[in-house]
């Protein structure tokens, strides 16, 4: 079906003047549509939910409906009370003409966050602080939602014990044994994992003991999912809400710092350049605590450092397992790319460990 015919199934006012591919995401098919009439211009995002990633796309739309409804009500209430120093935004679902949230093959239309854009890397401490504020405010918005309202879109996602189990199964394969036998670097990474097995379970154990409460987390809080206002320079929205899941907010906190505080990036081959940037981390944490501090418990705060250390370990484990399995999950351009990606994440984990005292000190003061 032609896209212009498809988008006509949605209730959008005005005349369609442009419909073009949009963004650089690698999951959903995404297009920007521009509508105009005599007085106004409306820009919306047309997307098809990727069934290969989300086998039950209808669940994704049900989640988005419940999530955005809750958050919009809270945003409106806070705006009336004059609580915030900015206008916080969140995408809104545009209904189809039959009043449903999507049409055949799970195509949807959502509003575009206007006069704002995202960056691919942290631009400095001020930007990191706004990223922290945006994630903290998002967590605040969903902190009082019942996790049962959201169905898990990716079962097993960020369950580190599950990744360890898969890694252990992979180690039994003939291919993995040969790779470990022939590579000193692979042996070193395997030893790194063995020395930190207890680390892999720290958050899960805390949750089982009742120290940490299951809320919901974004699932993909990388820097290019955080919208910054073009005029004020302040964080204004979190986007890409398909991965919002029931779980621990620590997973977002650690993952955001993992990506923001490694300026060298995930593909760096010179490990000497892979360092956890404390200035960016301190700024991020200040912004985050300003927005999320009101609902965090003492136990939540006590495990924040552990999440910063855990998330690079978890991603490194996933990269290394995939390397030993023959590069079947993460896309690669050369055979040892996942091995190097694992090296980067484990080096970042070591960098966090070396700075434990100062990181804990910063967190304690906030």
Cβ atoms of 133 and 235 closer than 8 Å: yes
Record the tokens describing residue 327, joined without a space: 């590069």
Q: How far apart are CA 304 and CA 203, in angstroms?
A: 10
User: Which pLDDT score, from 0 to 100, does residue 3 have?
Assistant: 93
Note the pLDDT tens digit of each residue in 178-217.
Answer: 999 999 999 999 999 999 998 899 999 999 999 999 999 9
pLDDT value at 355 more than 80:
yes
Note the pLDDT tens digit of each residue in 228-272.
Answer: 999 999 999 999 999 999 999 999 999 999 999 999 999 999 999
Average pLDDT over residues 23-42: 89
Average pLDDT over residues 172-177: 97
Q: How far apart are CA 257 and CA 280, in angstroms?
A: 8
Average pLDDT over residues 168-176: 97
User: Which pLDDT score, from 0 to 100, does residue 230 have?
Assistant: 97
Which residue, chain included where needed, has tokens 């820097």? 223
Chain-centroid distance of CA 308 in Å reads 14
Count of C-beta atoms within a 10 Å radius of residue 128: 27
User: Which pLDDT score, from 0 to 100, does residue 26 have?
Assistant: 66
Q: How far apart are CA 154 and CA 56, in angstroms?
A: 10
Q: How far apart are CA 175 and CA 189, in angstroms?
A: 16
User: Which pLDDT score, from 0 to 100, does residue 12 have?
Assistant: 97
Note the pLDDT tens digit of each residue in 108-153.
Answer: 999 999 999 999 999 999 999 999 999 999 999 999 999 999 999 9
Cβ atoms of 64 and 79 closer than 8 Å: no
Q: Report how far apart, in Å, the C-alpha atoms of 4 and of each of 37, 40, 61, 121, 126 are.
A: 17, 20, 22, 34, 41
Report the DSSP beta bridge partners of residue 247: 215
pLDDT value at 33 more than 90:
yes
Q: How far apart are CA 242 and CA 244, in angstroms?
A: 6
Report the SS3 class of residue 116: strand
Q: How far apart are CA 78 and CA 66, in angstroms?
A: 19
Per-residue confidence at 295, pLDDT binned at 50, 70, 90?
Answer: very high
Q: How far apart are CA 88 and CA 237, in angstroms?
A: 6
Record the tokens describing residue 57, joined without a space: 């796309």
Any residues with CB less than 8 A from the CB of 314 and at least 6 apart, and which?
158, 160, 163, 200
User: Which pLDDT score, from 0 to 100, does residue 28 have?
Assistant: 87
Terminal-residue alpha carbon distance, the chain: 53
The domain limits of the chain are 3-112, 125-365
Q: How far apart are CA 91 and CA 332, in angstroms?
A: 33
Report the SS3 class of residue 216: strand
Q: Comparing 3-112 with 125-365, is the CATH topology the same? A: no
Q: How far apart are CA 362 and CA 366, in angstroms?
A: 7
Cβ atoms of 282 and 247 closer than 8 Å: no
Note the pLDDT tens digit of each residue in 49-103.
Answer: 999 889 999 999 999 999 999 999 999 999 999 888 899 999 999 999 999 999 9
Handedness of CA 47, 92, 243, 224 (dihedral sign): positive
* Predicted TM-score (pTM) of this structure: 0.95
Any residues with CB less than 8 A from the CB of 171 and at least 6 apart, and which?
177, 180, 190, 324
Any residues with CB less than 8 A from the CB of 329 and at least 6 apart, and which?
318, 322
What is the CATH number that goes with domain 3-112?
A: 3.30.200.20
- How does the average pLDDT of the chain come out, rounded? 96
What is the CATH number that goes with domain 125-365?
A: 3.90.1200.10
Cβ atoms of 150 and 63 closer than 8 Å: yes
Count of C-beta atoms within a 10 Å radius of residue 349: 25
Average pLDDT over residues 224-229: 96
């Amino acid at each position: 079906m032609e896209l212009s015919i498809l988008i006509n199934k949605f209730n959008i006012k005005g005349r369609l003047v442009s419909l073009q591919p949009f963004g650089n995401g690698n999951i959903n098919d995404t297009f920007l549509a521009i509508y105009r009439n005599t007085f106004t211009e409306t820009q919306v995002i047309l997307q098809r939910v990727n069934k290969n990633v989300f086998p039950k796309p209808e669940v994704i739309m049900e989640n988005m409906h419940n999530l955005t409804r809750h958050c919009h009500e809270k945003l409106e209430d806070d705006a009336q009370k004059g609580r915030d120093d900015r206008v916080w935004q969140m995408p809104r679902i545009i209904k189809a003409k039959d009043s449903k949230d999507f049409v055949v093959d799970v195509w949807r239309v959502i509003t575009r966050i206007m006069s704002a854009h995202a960056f691919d890397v942290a631009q400095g401490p001020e930007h990191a602080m706004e990223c922290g504020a945006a994630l903290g405010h998002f967590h605040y918005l969903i902190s009082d939602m019942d996790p049962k309202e959201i169905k898990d879109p990716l079962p097993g996602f960020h369950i580190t014990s599950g990744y360890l189990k898969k890694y252990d199964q992979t180690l039994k394969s003939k291919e993995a044994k040969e790779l470990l036998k022939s590579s000193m670097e692979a042996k070193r990474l395997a030893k790194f994992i063995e020395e930190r097995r207890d680390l892999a379970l720290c958050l899960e154990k805390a949750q089982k003991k009742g120290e940490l409460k299951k809320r919901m987390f974004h699932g993909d809080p990388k820097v290019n999912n955080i919208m910054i206002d073009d005029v004020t320079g302040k964080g204004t929205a979190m986007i890409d809400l398909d991965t919002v899941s029931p779980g621990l907010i620590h997973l977002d906190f650690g993952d955001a710092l993992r990506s923001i505080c490694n300026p060298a990036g995930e593909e760096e081959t010179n490990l000497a350049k892979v360092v956890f940037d404390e200035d960016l981390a301190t700024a991020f944490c200040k912004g985050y605590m300003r927005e999320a501090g009101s609902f965090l418990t003492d136990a939540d705060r006590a495990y924040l450092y552990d999440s910063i250390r855990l998330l690079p370990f978890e991603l490194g484990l996933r990269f290394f397992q995939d390397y030993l399995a023959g590069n079947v999950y993460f896309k690669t351009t050369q055979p040892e790319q996942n091995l190097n990606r694992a090296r980067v994440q484990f080096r970042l984990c070591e960098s966090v460990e070396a700075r434990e005292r100062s990181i804990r000190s910063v967190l304690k003061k906030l």
